[in-house]
Amino acid sequence: TGQLQAARARNYRFMAAGELTLPDTGTVRVIIDHMVSSDELCLVKEKSGQPIMTPRGSDPVIRLAEAGKEFVFSKINNIWRVS
Q: Which residues of the chain form beta strands (DSSP E)?
A: 3-5, 11-14, 18-22, 27-32, 42-46, 52-54, 57-59, 61-64, 70-76, 79-82
pTM: 0.85
3-state SS class at 6: coil
Tell whether the model's pLDDT for residue 79 goes beyond 50. Answer: yes
The predicted-structure confidence for 9-37, as pLDDT tens digits, reads as follows 589 999 999 999 999 999 999 999 999 99
